[in-house]
Structure 1
């Protein structure tokens, strides 16, 4: 047994909404605000604390809403390949359980002013996980506005990302909506309500369909291919820098600073190679999907916080 469930009045699940985004964007905090639950595991640093899937159910206008907190990309302890495998299991299991998503909330901190290549890559990952057909069920919600001394900086971030197809522009053009979350219960519920109000029918996500078509191998999905290409680009950049250092230090003794950089690059190359190998082997088995679907269905039905329970199914 993964865990014991206390008896509660069973409520027919109606709305399932997944939260995605980078580590530290405030997914767990959003769930805590929306649900009113004080026992949600929340990260207050750049280190990720949500290792697996966390599901929390609550009543909203007479219906049951289940918010699903997925692992954040840019995790300090796990590669994007491992996170993709966890998300793959979640999507496959929820599909088998007959629990399609009502919508998706993508959270982005307004404290991230500079747009970087890594952010662009992860936006592409999210696009390929969802697929164009699901964009009308997507809300792009910005967080952490209270930390800004000048709100205009946040407005500039939203405008810049919204105007460029490489970032949010493409998703917005295909139906995604913008929202501002001010870290209050009313704000969180307004965003949840907007998904419910605009919901027409569940749309299978692109990664769900591609997993089923490709023997549940993550690397054969569009998101998996993007993650693999990004790892390849990282390895190429590390190799280039390593060769530059070797040319610079050729013919004389390597100083301590240069040697430290060489050691760091070599370690990064090892980590990148390990991540590529994990991605190459990442697959969810039918047995895992079945077990996960059963556990998740129980969690949604009873309405419990389920991080530890679902982690058992992921093992």
Structure 2
């Protein structure tokens, strides 16, 4: 009998941060080889992945989340996956203990992508849960001059994290070791359970995704993109009309190809906007109720995995009691 077949419910801890910040590396310190680590700019974590480990007599699923700067997937799709994950966790009553938010200390400035990620992160979480958040700087071992890292950390705390710290978030430096990864997990396990803002909005209040804080952040950008692409299409149509009066055929063909490409882009943006009109909280509540009627479940994590179509396996490299892997 595996740990997943026993009548044991896990709590959860989320690991968040942009692509390449070291989320998968952190997970692998808890259970070696449990998730794939990216070597380049391409994101290896396309959906949520988790390692379920034993911490004393308790179980915790440490969840690796995809970065919102994923190189192949639209922002709306990534938000949708994380939202579905969080709504399912909340509906099933699996306790969420906190979040580890990672930032590379090797970055010489906070990029626009990182700032965007932080905005989405705050919209998903809400400020009231910041005492359950660890802001973790990573990759200190790659610095040639540690003093540079300390300077960047001071800048982060002064210009970007000051408000989060004032609301209870804790700033730590990750030394890359298994011992510290375990210590940080244990630190959050001592916290009370937390409910995120997005969970209250979607599950308790039954909002559409576009009506939530994170939706209100995403919708204006999508609408602006749709408007700009539409304007470019109109300009191309005018040029095509003019080309029929004398421009070479090759030029007209080029303009028509460009117009077709933009039209496809616009349709994709519209489709992303339509996805935000869903009510994920209500949809997931209905699906879970239907699943519960079908079968008898011994623990909520097993139901959680089944509901999201996950495969439960065990890990060979056990580093803590009752360790195992949930591949999401």
Measured against aligned partners, the alpha-carbon deviations of 1:209-241 in whole angstroms (never above 9, x if no partner) come to: 000245363222111211223334556777899
Q: Does 1:182 align with 2:196?
A: no
Unaligned runs of 5+ residues in structure 1 are 246-251, 255-259, 309-315
Label 1:264 to 1:147 Cα distance change in 2 as closer, same or farther (>3 A).
Answer: farther
Q: Distance in 2 between matches of 1:75 and 1:179?
A: 25
Label 1:304 to 1:196 Cα distance change in 2 as closer, same or farther (>3 A).
Answer: closer
Q: Secondary structure at the match of 1:170?
A: helix
Q: How does 1:267-306 map to 2 (within 5 A)?
A: 272-281=269-278, 283=280, 285=283, 286-289=285-288, 295-296=303-304, 304-306=324-326
Label 1:159 to 1:16 Cα distance change in 2 as closer, same or farther (>3 A).
Answer: same
- Normalised by the length of structure 1, the TM-score is 0.77
Q: CA deviation at 1:104?
A: 0.7
Structure 2 counterpart of 1:50: 45
Q: Distance in 1 between matches of 2:37 and 2:216?
A: 31
Query: Which of residues 141, 149, 153 is equivalent to 1:154?
Result: 149
Query: Which of residues 200, 217, 235 is equivalent to 1:209?
Result: 200
Q: Distance in 1 between matches of 2:112 and 2:12?
A: 31
Q: Distance in 2 between matches of 1:279 and 1:111?
A: 35
Q: Distance in 2 between matches of 1:14 and 1:213?
A: 22
Q: How does 1:212-227 map to 2 (within 5 A)?
A: 212-215=203-206, 217-227=208-218
Structure 2 counterpart of 1:257: none
- Normalised by the length of structure 2, the TM-score is 0.74
Computing the radius of gyration from Cα coordinates, the structure with the larger value is 2
Q: CA deviation at 1:171?
A: 1.2
Measured against aligned partners, the alpha-carbon deviations of 1:6-57 in whole angstroms (never above 9, x if no partner) come to: 5767373454211111111111110111x23323222222111212221211
CA contact (8 A) 1:13 1:300 kept: no
Q: How does 1:85-164 map to 2 (within 5 A)?
A: 85-164=80-159
Supply the RMSD in Å over aligned alpha carbons: 3.8
Measured against aligned partners, the alpha-carbon deviations of 1:118-170 in whole angstroms (never above 9, x if no partner) come to: 32222111011111221000001111122222223332332222212xx3222
What is the number of residues matched between the two proteins?
Answer: 297
Query: Which of residues 10, 13, 30 is equivalent to 1:17?
Result: 13
Q: Distance in 1 between matches of 2:114 and 2:234?
A: 27
CA contact (8 A) 1:181 1:187 kept: yes
Q: Secondary structure at the match of 1:102?
A: strand
Q: CA deviation at 1:58?
A: 1.6
Q: CA deviation at 1:266?
A: 7.9
Structure 2 counterpart of 1:249: none
Measured against aligned partners, the alpha-carbon deviations of 1:274-304 in whole angstroms (never above 9, x if no partner) come to: 4334434574623445559653267699864
Unaligned runs of 5+ residues in structure 2 are 237-246, 252-256, 293-299, 307-311, 315-321
Q: Distance in 1 between matches of 2:64 and 2:128?
A: 22
Label 1:78 to 1:11 Cα distance change in 2 as closer, same or farther (>3 A).
Answer: same
